[in-house]
Amino acid sequence: MALIDFSDDYFMKQALQEAVKAIDAGEVPIGAVVVCDNQVIGRGHNLIETLTDSTAHAEMQAFTSAMEYLGGKYLDECILYVTLEPCTMCAGAAYWSRLAKLVFGASDTRRGYREMAGNVLYPKTEVVKGVMKIECSKLLKEFFSAKRNGSA
Asked if 77 is an active-site residue, the reply is no
Residue 4 CA: distances (Å) to CA of 10, 76, 131, 136: 9, 24, 18, 22
Q: With H, G, I as helix, E, B as strand and everything else as coil, classify residue 17.
A: helix
Q: With H, G, I as helix, E, B as strand and everything else as coil, classify residue 121.
A: coil
| Catalytic entry in 18, 27, 49, 59 | 59
Number of C-beta neighbours around residue 107 at 10 A: 16
Q: Where are the beta strands (DSSP E) in the chain?
A: 31-36, 39-45, 79-84, 101-106, 126-129
Which positions are annotated as active-site residues?
59
